[in-house]
Amino acid sequence: MAAYIFRRLLLVVPTLLGIILINFAVVQFAPGGPVEQMLAELRGEGQTLGRLTGEGQGETRAPGGAGMGGGGGDGPVGTYRGARGLDPAIVAEIERIFGFDKPAHVRFGEMMWGYLTFDFGRSLFRDQPVVDLVIEKMPVSISLGLWSTLIIYLVSIPLGIRKAVQDGTRFDVWTSGVVLVGYAIPGFLFAILLVVFFAGGSFLQWFPLRGLASSGSEMWPFWQRALDYAWHMALPTLALVIGGFAGLTMLTKNAFLDEIGKQYVVTARAKGNSETRILYGHVFRNAMLLIIAGFPAAFISILFTGALLVEIVFSLDGLGLLGFEAAIRRDYPIMFGTLYIFTLMGLILQIIGDVMYTVVDPRIDFEARR
């Protein structure tokens, strides 16, 4: 097992490099980089991306980028639409500050060298180290992802087991309908509906609309702060849970149905074992293999994909909102830094998921695979 883990860890390096390289190359063709945005602000044009990209389609552009990333349309002085009427010296200084005075391959090499030591640079517009920003926003996203994942597992596993035991009954049919409806509607749409109905949108105002704590709550006793935290987390967590438990419920049901039909279950029944003992003493261990081992992947999926738009809807100052704002402002150090961190975490959690397979079922031996 140690040799398998070592090989998987070695594969992390080229995988990370390939993902970052592809995204870096794509960004080179994205219009409206940070230099253009800064020039537009200097000209009083704000940050309207359409104004930066919708004019002058016939202009000649040089490949380039900003900071640790890049951006189509950012290049030598004189090729910026936003530079019209500005002193070329000012444009050149902005290029130097953002790193546009270097070729793309040089910037990519410097970026990857810094990533080896977890130096992700500074935000172009926040003027803070990317690591500090990620650490600052991480607790919000982890809190939302962790509670959502735990609740999804607590609901989906018992529901999936009961659906397997009562396969084909009225309970199985109507719960399948509810599950499929929840799966079909995106989490962010549920979030909007929850805001409209329960957060002062048009009907009730039972829950707060934004943040994870009330104003002045830092002076409250611990139990009161805990209740206030649960009050703020209720709607965002519910929005993720409604759309997230469907897949796990059906996976649990199908896994148990598959095991219930095997020969060892027939043998256990022939020996006179009760259905409860068969279900939880024999079937449960084998059926839960995929479900338990998939926990790390499920957590990372909810944390870094489903929670993004939910954070935006509820104005939760987490990684999702940080990434969204960085994409809008073309803050490339944040974009590439968070991409590197999330990808690395995802690859590591995949390895942890493989290790959990062997913990749940010691019969699995990755070393024996050819």
186 and 212 housed in the same domain: yes
Quote the mean pLDDT of the chain.
75
Q: How far apart are CA 164 and CA 170, in angstroms?
A: 12
Among 124, 151, 182, which residue terminates a domain? 124
**pLDDT at residue 305 greater than cutoff 80:** no
Among 124, 141, 175, which residue terminates a domain? 124
Residue 46 binned pLDDT confidence (cut-offs 50, 70, 90)? very low
Residue 344 binned pLDDT confidence (cut-offs 50, 70, 90)? confident
Cα separation values, 20 from 9, 68, 115, 124, Å = 17, 11, 11, 19
Q: Is the Cα torsion angle 149, 150, 151, 157 positive or negative in sign?
A: positive
260 and 320 housed in the same domain: yes
Total domain count, the chain: 2
How many CA atoms, within 13 angstroms, populate the side-chain half-sphere of residue 320?
25
Instruction: Give the domain range for residue 248.
Output: 131-329
102 and 159 housed in the same domain: no
**pLDDT at residue 178 greater than cutoff 70:** yes
Among 124, 157, 172, which residue terminates a domain? 124
199 and 236 housed in the same domain: yes
310 and 179 housed in the same domain: yes
267 and 240 housed in the same domain: yes
158 and 114 housed in the same domain: no
Q: Is residue 344 part of a domain?
A: no
Q: Is residue 213 part of a domain?
A: yes
213 and 304 housed in the same domain: yes
**pLDDT at residue 306 greater than cutoff 80:** no
Contacts of residue 259, defined as CB under 8 A and 6 or more positions apart, other chains included, come to: 265, 283, 286, 287
Supply angle C-alpha 171, 173, 176, rounded to 5. 105
Q: Is residue 235 part of a domain?
A: yes
Read off the pLDDT of residues 67-92 as tens digits, 9 standing for 90 and up. Answer: 455 554 444 444 555 555 556 676 67
Q: Is residue 352 part of a domain?
A: no
Evaluate whether 344 touches 12 at the Cβ level (below 8 Å): yes
45 and 96 housed in the same domain: yes
104 and 156 housed in the same domain: no
CATH of the domain at 319: 1.10.3720.10
**pLDDT at residue 125 greater than cutoff 50:** yes
Residue 44 binned pLDDT confidence (cut-offs 50, 70, 90)? low
86 and 192 housed in the same domain: no
146: left (phi over 0), alpha (psi -120 to 50) or beta: alpha
Q: Is residue 263 part of a domain?
A: yes
Q: How far apart are CA 84 and CA 97, in angstroms?
A: 19
Q: What is the pTM of this model?
A: 0.70
pLDDT at 300: 67
